Amino acid sequence: MLAYADDVVAHFGTVHQIYNNAGIAYNGSVEKSEFKDIERIMDIDFWGVVNGTKAFLPHLIASGDGHVVNISSLCGLIAVPGQSAYNAAKFAVRGFTESLRQEMLIAKHPVQVTCVHPGGIKTAVARNATVAEDEDAQTFAEFFDKRLALHTPEMAATTILDGVPSMPWMK
């Protein structure tokens, strides 16, 4: 990720915004979940956001008008049974992002920080989810797709982009 950030700066010259949207799903109770399943969710859903933020933060500070946008989830605000690993990762994204925001303010760095908590988005996240032993992946995916996935990715992207304050370089 560090090399990628350097490559982006080398190509574009300046980085003004980063959108960290790391997420995979897993369905299973704490009792039935294996350590490896929980670790996998944390590695991608939480550490993906941390890695992107850490890699690009120096460049965002240097830009003079940076913005970090970290995508959490509605599950970063409320807990859902069977989603303990996902809940934990998305709550961690929320806490990490809120702390980063405060740090940028205290340090007077020119970087805004936003945490986004979308609800059900019509992506393949549920269809690609892994599940604990004795859980039915297809039933989980069908429930998510029919009952929870209410918005298209395009709707979510438009809402998120509209919520990010305009930067001087965008005018």
Domain membership of residue 141 (yes or no) is no
For the entire predicted model, the pTM comes to 0.83
CA 152 to chain CA centroid, nearest Å: 17
The span from the CA of 126 to the CA of 123, in Å, is 8
pLDDT given for residue 75 in this prediction: 79
In a domain, 41, yes or no: yes
User: Which pLDDT value is given to residue 81?
Assistant: 84
Question: Would residue 53 count as lying in a domain?
Answer: yes
Residue 73 lies in a domain: yes
**Structural domain includes residue 68:** yes
Question: How many domains in the chain?
Answer: 1
| Cα 142 to Cα 149: distance, rounded to the nearest angstrom | 10
Domain span at 19: 2-120
pLDDT digits (tens, 9 = 90+) for 52-96: 999 999 999 999 999 999 999 887 898 888 889 999 999 999 999
pLDDT for residue 73: 86
Q: Which two tokens stand for residue 57?
A: 């933060």
CB–CB of 21/52 below 8 Å?
Answer: no
Q: What are phi and psi of 89, to 5 degrees?
A: -65, -45
**pLDDT tens-place string over residues 93-143:** 999 999 999 999 999 999 999 999 877 665 655 546 665 577 655 665 555
**Considering the domain boundaries, does residue 144 fall inside one?**
no
Domain CATH number, residue 46: 3.40.50.720
In a domain, residue 95? The reply is: yes
- Among 4, 19, 26, 86, the one annotated catalytic: 86
The verdict on whether 4 is a catalytic residue reads no
Mean pLDDT along residues 24-43: 92
- 26 domain-assigned: yes
Give the Cα separation of 8 and 20 in Å (integer): 15
